[in-house]
Amino acid sequence: MSKPVIIALDWDAFYCSVEEHFDPRLRNVAFAVRQKGIVCTCNYAARALGVKKLQSLAVALKTVSDLIVVNGEDLSRYRDASKELWMFVRKMVWGGKVERLGLDELFLDVSDMIEYNLEFLRESQYDDFFFRLSRDDETGFSCTSAAVAGLYATQNMPDLTTEDGLRLILASQLCQHVRSRIFTEKGYTSSGGISTGKVLAKMAGAVHKPNVQTVLDPVFASEFLKEKDIGCIPGIGRKYRANILNSVYGSVDDVDASVDAIIRLVDETKLIGLFGDFLGKKIYHLLHGTDTTPVNPTPDIPTQISIEDTFGSLKTLPDVRSVLHELMTLLYERMQIDLMSFGTWTAHARTIRLSLRYRAAAYGVRTSKSDAVPSVIYSAAEKEEIVRAVVNKTLMPLFHKLVAEPRFDLALLNVAVVNIEKQPAFAEITGFLGKRQRVNDETELPKRIEFETEDGDDEDDDEEGYQTCEICGQRSLRFAVEAHRRFHEPE
Ligand code: DCP
Ligand code: MG
Ligand code: MG
């Protein structure tokens, strides 16, 4: 069995690109998109001037005093653009094997498209040939197998003399074609990564940005990974990084967190001891570039949407309430991404479920209770109000039904919506991306948002109540910080 061929796409400065579609004059200026006091992203012109993603707005304005700032708190236009781009790309991939990750990333499993086209390449004696995008008609594009389209992640290009190398070279041509169609037909630039797994493809795609694609032959995976901090491997992240470093060095500070160092010190057995069988093996493969998690095509409407968090120990009702508030906020945002199109709920979830695991319970043993999804979720009320209502009227009562005793000690909370049905009234709505908003040249660019911050150097704690954990860097709402801090405490 040959290895799968995966393309990862990530839209460049995504929220900025969406804003530029609404106001094309933004294309020519440095600007940032803000949410609360944070620059959630900025365009590449602003990055060239020193503005950074996820910087506090106060700091960004110190760097570029006349920075244009656009309010990005209403996610609906980003959600709609994201969905439209996903649908567009999905039509180009056989079997619709496209998985969405968040709003701006896609994984395409193009293995069978590449396999089929390898034959035509052989027929053409490994010369220029016609890449067929369809089995039934003659759509496709001319390409050459002699060179990689785009750049490569290490010093070496894929080996043209091996079948795996050839597959990646064909996939790079396909990726180029897909990206160029996205640009010409939808007006979005993207960065692409091409490899034999999702994680390697995603990491390769991040090497050269923006509007560039990068190939990584897995033969060079260990060379590619060896100097990287283990925390930048998607799927490891800060939490597991801290666990690994603490177990190896007894500290997370001033230690060698490179992949090379860690794989010398930690073998598979040790990782299984730290994280359990499933996660331990997964982390082992992530560190060795051999993760084989398949592309899981995102359905039009998911069967369930679920958000959870784990804790060292969660013991008090106020902590439970604050965690539920955080989880419900994330769940509501996910529901909006997955179940809304162009401002309309195209599907409703009927049931909401709260699950938990006691600290003393065996791994995988959960208890849960469900209730009807309250109608407030689909109302026009503000997010904060909706979340508060669901926590108070549905989730806390469910929690009390699940946990009758005054003393408890929890290791996991999960909130999910299930029983998701398409709204019968929903008719296909065509998108806005093809249309450019008419702009009156007389109108001015968006005014800089007047935004007062206490003198802006304190990036750790913003006035909206977020605080950054000094141990792992996670941003939590202030009321959740206590619960989060306890997570770091030794048991
Ligand atoms: N985003 C956010 N908060 C975060 C991370 C991202 O609101 N903590 C939003 C803003 C981004 C979008 O998600 O536009 C996609 O995130 P990326 O990390 O892919 O960043 P960009 O697409 O903006 O830039 P890049 O060109 O680096 O991919
Ligand atoms: Mg992006
Ligand atoms: Mg991204």
Q: Is 79 a pocket residue for ligand 1 (Cβ < 6 Å)?
A: no
pLDDT profile of the chain (491 residues), mean per 10:
93 98 94 95 97 96 96 89 95 95 96 94 85 89 86 84 89 97 97 97 96 95 95 91 93 95 95 91 96 93 89 93 96 91 88 96 88 96 96 98 94 96 62 34 39 31 44 50 49 36
Q: pTM of this prediction? A: 0.76
Q: Tell me, what's the pLDDT at 425?
A: 63
Q: Tell me, what's the pLDDT at 439?
A: 33
Supply the CATH classification number for the domain 1-226+446-466: 3.30.70.270
**From the alpha carbon of 11, which atom of ligand 1 is closest?**
22
Do 289 and 221 meet the contact criterion of CB atoms below 8 Å apart?
yes
Which helix (H) or strand (E) covers residue 432, if one does?
none
Query: Minimal CA–CA distance to 172: which of 121, 231, 212, 123?
Result: 212
Burial of residue 403, with CB atoms counted within 10 A of its CB: 0-12 exposed, 13-18 middle, 19 or more buried: middle
Query: Minimal CA–CA distance to 150: which of 180, 173, 126?
Result: 173
Q: Tell me, what's the pLDDT at 426?
A: 54
Residue 376: what residue type?
A: V
Supply the CATH classification number for the domain 305-445: 3.30.1490.100
Q: Tell me, what's the pLDDT at 429?
A: 39
Do 148 and 215 meet the contact criterion of CB atoms below 8 Å apart?
yes
- Topology match between the domains 1-226+446-466 and 305-445: no
Q: Which residues contact 127 (CB under 8 A, 6 or more apart)?
A: 144, 145, 146
Q: Is 46 a pocket residue for ligand 1 (Cβ < 6 Å)?
A: no
| Angle formed at CA 109 by CA 40 and CA 101, multiple of 5 degrees | 20
Q: Tell me, what's the pLDDT at 430?
A: 37
Ligand 1: residue of 10, 14, 238 to mutate (most ligand atoms within 8 A of CB) is 14
Neighbours of 115 (CB within 10 A): 14
| Longest alpha-carbon distance in the chain | 75
Q: Tell me, what's the pLDDT at 75?
A: 86
Q: Is 14 a pocket residue for ligand 1 (Cβ < 6 Å)?
A: yes
Question: Dihedral (C-alpha) 300, 303, 305, 311: value to the nearest 10 degrees?
Answer: -140
Output DSSP code: residue 280: H
Output DSSP code: residue 229: B
- Tokens for 70? 């656009």
Question: Distance, CA 80 to ligand 3 centroid (Å)?
Answer: 16
Does the domain at 227-287 match CATH 1.10.20? Answer given as no
Peptide bond into 210 cis (omega under 30): yes
- Listed by start position, the domains of the chain span 1-226+446-466, 227-287, 305-445
Question: Distance, CA 15 to ligand 1 centroid (Å)?
Answer: 7
